[in-house]
Amino acid sequence: MNAAELRRLAEALYRELAGRPLADVEVAWNPRLRTAAGRFVYPRGEGGGAPRIEINPRYTAAGGRAALVEVLKHELAHYHLWALGRPSGHTAEFHALARAWGFPRHASRDLLPPPAPRWRYVCPACGRAFLRVRRIVRPASCGACSPTFDLRFRLVEERLSVSRRASSTARQASSTARRASSTARRRR
Ligand SMILES: [Zn+2]
Ligand SMILES: [Zn+2]
């Protein structure tokens, strides 16, 4: 879904939920969001322009349209309170909107799935496969077959097909990959 379609969906949802047009707010994808499914960004300073609703494309790619509608409703509720001049955090009023508009009142960040792996490494001997978000640049061999680097068990690299949007987010998540436990060993 492109930016214009996202905007149109937000407008349609807001008209249906609030009974008024969506105005003075930007709606945009933000693939750089790491842990949040979406966020409402307040205008900066006095006369700081329009506030912004940002949606994490990785979240909605994994959860489909239902997830997208859910996170849009959540962020639209923040916007709605802001537009009415009300405190717009996760207040009692926000929770009442969650019930009325039909979205879970918990912050949607909890629903964010892990980044999609882009690389698969297969052991030629035992057939074990290791998935990685980040490419392994040094030669690696299968940790199940040999505790130290062994050319006989050198992992065979395969690039997994993911959408461009998902892969750009996966690149952002490289630190997660680095922390992930690996049975592949580096050459000593
Ligand atoms: Zn929120
Ligand atoms: Zn192996």
* CATH architecture assigned to 3-111: 2-Layer Sandwich (3.30)
pTM of the entire structure?
Answer: 0.57
Q: Which ligand is nearest to the CA of 105?
A: 1
pLDDT per residue over 5-15, tens digit each? Answer: 999 999 999 99
| Cα of 128 from ligand 2 centre, angstroms | 6
**Cβ count near 97 (within 10 Å):** 22
Q: How high does pLDDT run on average in the chain?
A: 80
Task: For the chain, give every domain's residue range.
Answer: 3-111, 119-186
3-state secondary structure 61-108: HHHHHHHHHHHHHHHHHHHHHHHCCCCCCCCHHHHHHHHHHCCCCCCH
Q: Are the C-beta atoms of residues 139 and 119 closer than 8 Å to each other?
A: no
| Cα of 108 from ligand 1 centre, angstroms | 7
pLDDT per residue over 151-160, tens digit each? Answer: 999 999 999 8
**Helix, strand, or coil here: 55?**
strand
Average pLDDT over residues 106-121: 63
Q: Which ligand is nearest to the CA of 141?
A: 2
pLDDT per residue over 33-69, tens digit each? Answer: 877 889 888 876 555 678 899 999 988 777 788 889 9
What residues are annotated to the active site?
75
Residues above pLDDT 70, as percent of the chain = 77
